Chains A and B, each alone.
Chain A
């Protein structure tokens, strides 16, 4: 089962770009990389998902190198409301026992 390693916490200031890197050395061929955002006492909110190269949507970008052993979530110009826990998941895109949540990265955005 693919496990992930992320920084435990990060601090940033409003308006800055934040990059959170996740390591997943034993990612399987069929695994996708998915990032979720979670606020206290709420369910995780889907941010972005990718398989290789670069994926961009209205809220974030996801960079995946050719070997797929790591990935970087990029949040452009963060605001105070982006303070949350960010989880990197590796596994089937539909979830299941092969999708393991780690402890996540606690991002704290300061004014």
Chain B
């Protein structure tokens, strides 16, 4: 059973550039959430996608956008990169509640460094 996968593993960009990160959810999961984790801190929720739409959003600027595809995979896009965007970006997948009990599982993350 494949878990959550993310690509790329590492990425180096310069200020002002744009970046796209990718995530494939755990088999059977239909909901994808993205988190940003700065060094030494806990993950912070960016947004969550379900049925190809952004369902929830945390306190992040519009420079952060996403997309979910029909196969439930997802992309996180960040425009006009700032030095402060350097972080580990985590993707987590889960099964939409619908009365069932499940939890979210995290991928290994993408380490983004902005120079």
Size bracket of the B interface: 20 to 34
Q: A49-B103, A103-B41 are in contact. Are A92 and B97 (CB under 8 A)?
A: yes
Closest Cβ of chain A to B100, distance in Å, is 9
Encode contact with B along A71-111: 1 for CB under 8 Å, 0 otherwise: 00000000000000001000011111101111110000000
The residue of chain A having its C-beta at the shortest distance from the C-beta of B37 within the complex is A101
A13 within 8 A of B: no
Q: A49-B103, A95-B92 are in contact. Are A43 and B42 (CB under 8 A)?
A: no
Neighbouring A residues of B57 by C-beta, 8 Å? 97
Neighbouring B residues of A42 by C-beta, 8 Å? 108-109
Neighbouring B residues of A46 by C-beta, 8 Å? 103-106
The residue of chain A having its C-beta at the shortest distance from the C-beta of B111 within the complex is A41
Neighbouring A residues of B106 by C-beta, 8 Å? 36, 43-46
A34 within 8 A of B: yes
Encode contact with A along B1-23: 1 for CB under 8 Å, 0 otherwise: 00010000000000000000000
B33 close to A87 (CB less than 8 A): no
Q: A49-B103, A97-B57 are in contact. Are A103 and B42 (CB under 8 A)?
A: yes
B56 within 8 A of A: yes
A93 close to B101 (CB less than 8 A): yes
Neighbouring A residues of B4 by C-beta, 8 Å? 43
B43 close to A97 (CB less than 8 A): no
A95 close to B109 (CB less than 8 A): no
| Chain A residues with a Cβ under 8 A of chain B | 32, 34, 36, 41-46, 49, 87, 92-97, 99-104
Sample 22 A-B pairs with CB under 8 A, ordered by A number. Answer: A32-B103, A41-B111, A43-B106, A43-B109, A44-B43, A44-B90, A44-B106, A46-B104, A87-B42, A92-B97, A93-B97, A93-B104, A94-B31, A94-B97, A94-B102, A95-B45, A95-B48, A95-B94, A96-B45, A97-B56, A99-B45, A102-B42
